[in-house]
A = this chain, B = another copy of it.
Amino acid sequence: MASAIDEGDMKTNPGRFFEDYRLGEVIAHAVPRTLSGGERALYHALYPARHALYSSDEFARASGLAAAPMDDLIAFHTVFGKTVPDISLNAVANLGYAEGRWLRPVWPGDTLMSKSEIIGLKENSNGKSGVVWLRTRGLNQRGEAVLDYVRWVMVLKRDISRPAPEPVVPTLAASVAAADLVVPAGLDFSRYDRGLAGEPHLWEDYAVGEKIDHVDGVTVEESEHMLATRLWQNTAKVHFDATNRADGRRLIYGGHVISLARALSFNGLANAQMIVALNAGAHANPCFAGDTVRAWSEVLDKAETAAPGVGALRLRLVAVRHGAAEFALRGDDGKYLPEVLLDLDYWALMPCGA
């Protein structure tokens, strides 16, 4: 087996550098993972997650599913985590997400693996690093796709003298078209119980442009973000090793902030039950233990779906550090304010009235 990571006697994984990627290459990421009720319980202990469809088998059955699926972001983190040893070890920045779609629920007992295709490469003008675009697909034990998304990262070159590859920048959709959203087979919100779900607001109660302050905050602890990040078998050193940065701080996995903010958004968006698309995302500033994370959302778009009683809401989810002004996002210079941690653009499924 020829491999970019097999260098003579070196047994440990040095990670790939920019020049190790080839356009069109498909990487089957290592270590498939079987998920169970244990991972779900941990997810619900690590985040204030309360969306009823993921909390209750009975609620899920009343919504046309066989049981409660694993939380949408459990699938995302598991699929993402597998890519880290091949993509992120020498990455200096996680630049963006696009065209993400949840294609099929993940059930307790399913085994996930990830494959990525390199779909773009562009060396930076400084010659020291480059941007790698990849489309990652999560697959279950039957080889069915459960999740698909594009991510691009800036990766260091090992050897600055290596010539730059032909630059290829993929054309990516600004957001997933409503027509391309995949509603899980059988999902039916026509008998939706808003009392059990926790809030009365339906899809038609949300207006494009509306902003919601989710009020609650969580102060982040070192052990919590590490438990979470390890659970997804994400091995990036910066999250675990306090000696890795000069300031002795561990950088928190961006996905931890995504899950925190999504869970906090229950308060005002309790009926935004399932994430089905990831349109875009930026980890605007790093998050550290001790930060108190809050969240707000903005309704960006609305769409109907063919499933009974199911509408789709496109939402901006913003995570901020305590002390941020209400609905803080960007400064006059157009840059993210320093208190902003996350700016995420996603589609969720929500009940709509008969």
Q: Which residues from chain A sit less than 8 Å from chain B, CB to CB?
A: 1, 3, 5-6, 11-13, 28, 30-34, 36-42, 44-48, 50, 52, 55-59, 68, 85, 108-109, 111, 113, 141, 194-201, 205, 212-219, 221-224, 226-228, 230-231, 233, 235, 237, 240-244, 250, 267-270, 292, 322
Note all chain B residues with C-beta closer than 8 A to A269.
11
CA distance A322 to B241 in the complex (A): 10
CB-based contact B217/A237 at 8 Å: yes
Assuming A39-B38, A55-B33, A219-B250, is B292 touching A12 (CB within 8 A)? Answer: no
Distance (whole angstroms) from the CB of A36 to the closest CB of chain B:
3
Assuming A31-B52, A57-B34, A217-B240, is B199 touching A267 (CB within 8 A)? Answer: no
CB-based contact A235/B216 at 8 Å: yes
Note all chain B residues with C-beta closer than 8 A to A221.
222-223, 226
CA distance A268 to B108 in the complex (A): 31
Distance (whole angstroms) from the CB of A9 to the closest CB of chain B:
8
CB-based contact A200/B230 at 8 Å: no
Chain B residue with minimal CB distance to A263? B230
Note all chain B residues with C-beta closer than 8 A to A242.
219, 292
Some 25 contacts from A to B, beta carbons below 8 A apart, are A1-B194, A1-B195, A6-B201, A11-B199, A11-B269, A13-B198, A30-B50, A30-B196, A31-B197, A32-B55, A32-B59, A34-B68, A37-B37, A37-B108, A41-B231, A45-B228, A45-B231, A47-B230, A48-B233, A55-B233, A56-B111, A56-B113, A85-B198, A113-B196, A221-B226
Distance (whole angstroms) from the CB of A247 to the closest CB of chain B:
13
CA distance A119 to B6 in the complex (A): 47
CA distance A113 to B44 in the complex (A): 16
Note all chain B residues with C-beta closer than 8 A to A200.
1, 3, 5-6
Distance (whole angstroms) from the CB of A290 to the closest CB of chain B:
8
Distance (whole angstroms) from the CB of A198 to the closest CB of chain B:
4
Note all chain B residues with C-beta closer than 8 A to A37.
36-39, 108
Distance (whole angstroms) from the CB of A274 to the closest CB of chain B:
15
Note all chain B residues with C-beta closer than 8 A to A230.
44-48
CA distance A109 to B58 in the complex (A): 10
Which among A6, A38, A111, A217 has the highest number of chain B CB atoms within 10 Å?
A38
- Selected contact of A322 from candidates B32, B47, B205, B243, CB within 8 Å: B243
Distance (whole angstroms) from the CB of A351 to the closest CB of chain B:
12
- Selected contact of A224 from candidates B59, B194, B195, B226, CB within 8 Å: B226
Chain B residue with minimal CB distance to A142? B58
CB-based contact B58/A34 at 8 Å: yes
- Selected contact of A58 from candidates B32, B42, B233, B243, CB within 8 Å: B32
Distance (whole angstroms) from the CB of A126 to the closest CB of chain B:
27
Chain B residue with minimal CB distance to A81? B50
CB-based contact A111/B58 at 8 Å: yes
Note all chain B residues with C-beta closer than 8 A to A292.
241-243
CA distance A244 to B52 in the complex (A): 27
Additional A-B contact list (14), CB under 8 Å, known A11-B205, A13-B267, A34-B56: A3-B200, A11-B199, A30-B52, A30-B197, A31-B56, A32-B196, A37-B38, A37-B108, A45-B230, A47-B230, A216-B235, A216-B237, A219-B243, A243-B292
